[in-house]
Amino acid sequence: MYSLIFRPEKNNNDHSNRVTNCIYVLFILLTGLGISSYWLLHTETSKTLAITVHSLLLISIFIFIILIAFKNKRRQTSQNIQIDKAQNILYDITTTINSAYDLKELLERFCTELSQSLTARNVSIWLITEHDWLEYIASTGIDPEVTNQPKRIKLTNELINSLSANRIIHVNEHVTRLAEILQCDVTEETKSYYIPLHSEHNILGVVRIKIDNIPFDSAHHFRELLIRLGNQLSIAIEKARVDQETRRMIIMEERSLIANELHDSLAQTLASLRFQVRVLDETLQPTSEFQSIRGIEQVENSLDEAYTDLRELIAHCRTPIKNQGLIPAVEKLISRFRKESGIHVLLQTDWQNSDLPPNMEMHIFRIVQEAMNNIRKHSGANNVRIMFRCDEQGNHNVLVENDGLGFETPNSSDHPGKHLGLTIMRERAIHLGGELRIESEPDEGTRIELLFTYNNESEHDPLQRLSGISK
């Protein structure tokens, strides 16, 4: 439950000055009243004048006290109205973002609701992503032609220091750069307010608001509202991130559970059948006919292939690149492939410029894994070459080729289940934002090439790369 109670206004210079002036005036009136009382008690000739002055001073003090009470009442009423207004805005926005389906919808709703509630000219949200980038995420009131292109800024020590304090930033050259990136008019930057987003000891990002007129009589209440809105959004972002990670972990655990069940049940059964068929083959070799022995050998080969497929399925259910990265995972895959097939594999890597998130690396690994499975099963190849290449512009190229038998490239009119493995590989390539090229002819080998472009400027969801800066 979020607290919607605002603290009373403190350390307000105008209010302090008013109180000081009131005390000063009241002191003068009371001093005059004391003098007039002394005069009234000791005069004989000016009794009437003394009484008149004394009465006027009493009336003045009475009126002044009433006036102070009236002004305080009016000021308290105005303050209560401001607090109620801020509470309603905070409640509406909090309710809106808490009903969002995912983090992207949450941020878009926050921008829209905040813009409407404060009559802001525009609102934008920037979050910290991997490798210390502050990246544009969502906005309202900004030209779509500008926001449709990825926007980001490298985090500097000055910018981190500006965002580290839990206070509203009004004029700061380091955050003004965000307005320039969004092609906003920086000559009116005095109308912009920046809300740092924090989660415990981490900086999550910043919200930029440009507003022509503050919808509150007190700038204190406005800043207090912005701080609380920032706190609510930070909590919502962190919760959405935790929920996303929890869902991912649940999927991983479920896949691992399936893999373990397959290993402990079906894999053991197939291993036992392989052993029994092998024993049967050895027993019948001296006495059985050629056809019977050949039939048993075919059953044995089928069981071997089924057992290998099952082992691959178990490995597929696990997450091979979770803690090691794509290239080390591929190297382990190649090592196992060499032992099982005896085929020579050459691995070439020029992957230093690659900066892929784990989910994209997983798709690449699965494409390579499927290509190598097909080579082992069907190609009859002697040599395989695997190449990973990425240039400074983020152009990625993954090549798997062999000198095997080759095959006729499948047509789009073929039955969808006929080349399911190739279909899945193409779908993974599309998910990466690229294409999969397959070149093969009978007795000419096969060449599978994955091409796509990715860097921090690419049109990929930055919410998948959220990070944080420790203060």
For the chain, the domain total comes to 4
Q: Could you say which of 76, 99, 122 is where a domain stops?
A: 99
206 and 279 share one domain: no
Which backbone phi and psi does 403 adopt, to 5 degrees?
A: -105, 35
**Which residues 6+ apart lie within 8 Å of 166 measured at CB?**
196, 198, 227
Band of residue 184 on the pLDDT scale cut at 50, 70, 90:
confident
- Identify which has the larger pLDDT, 441 or 462: 441
Q: Quote the pLDDT of residue 423.
A: 85
What mean pLDDT is predicted for residues 342-369? Answer: 87
Instruction: State the helix-helix crossing angle for 219-262 and 47-98, rounded to 10 degrees.
Output: 20
Res. 416: pLDDT tops 60: no
Summary mean pLDDT of the chain: 80
185-201 per-position pLDDT tens digit = 888 888 899 999 998 88
Say if residue 15's pLDDT is above 70: no
Closest CA to 166 of 89, 249, 229, 257: 229
In this structure, the answer to whether residues 334 and 469 fall within a common structural domain is: yes
pLDDT for the residue 61: 85
If pLDDT is split at 50, 70 and 90, which confidence band does 176 have? confident
The pLDDT of residue 312: 67
Assess whether pLDDT exceeds 90 at residue 13. Answer: no
Q: pLDDT tens-digit profile of 253-308?
A: 777 777 777 776 777 777 777 777 777 777 777 766 667 777 777 777 777 777 77
- Please spell the DSSP secondary structure of 212-271, one letter per residue: SS-SSS-HHHHHHHHHHHHHHHHHHHHHHHHHHHHHHHHHHHHHHHHHHHHIIIIIHHHH
Out of 165, 197, 215, pick the residue that ends a domain. 215
- CATH number of 380's domain: 3.30.565.10
pLDDT (0 to 100) of residue 209: 93
Residue 417 confidence (pLDDT) above 50: no
Q: Is residue 224 part of a domain?
A: no
The answer to whether residue 53 is domain-embedded is yes
Tell me, yes or no, whether 39 and 138 share the same domain: no
Q: Tell whether 229 is covered by a domain.
A: no
* Predicted local distance difference test score (pLDDT) of residue 459: 56
Do 307 and 330 share a structural domain? Answer: no
- Residue 349 bridge partners (DSSP): 388
Least Cα distance to 206 among 110, 127, 137 occurs for 127
Same domain for 454 and 406: yes
- Judgement on whether residues 197 and 254 belong to the same structural domain of the protein: no
Q: Percentage of the chain with pLDDT > 90?
A: 13
**Do 62 and 187 belong together in one domain?**
no
Scanning the structure block, which residue is given the tokens 């959220």? 466
Mean pLDDT throughout 405-411? 71
Residues 111, 204 within the same domain: yes
Residue 302 lies in a domain: yes
User: HSE on the CB side for 297, CA within 13 Å?
Assistant: 9
Establish if 231 belongs to a structural domain. no
The pLDDT of residue 348: 94
**Sequence-separated (6 or more) residues with CB below 8 Å from residue 312:** 369, 373
Task: Based on the fold, state whether residues 328 and 455 are members of the same structural domain.
Answer: yes
The pLDDT score that the predictor gives to residue 288 is: 62
Q: Residue 136: which domain range?
A: 102-215
Dump pLDDT digits (tens) for 221-262: 888 888 888 888 988 888 887 887 787 778 777 777 777 777
Average pLDDT over residues 29-49: 81
Tell me whether residue 83 is in a domain. Answer: yes
Q: What is the pLDDT of residue 449?
A: 94
- Tell me: pLDDT of 413 over 60: no
My answer on whether 165 and 287 are in the same domain is no
Choose the final residue of a domain: 65, 99, 133. Answer: 99
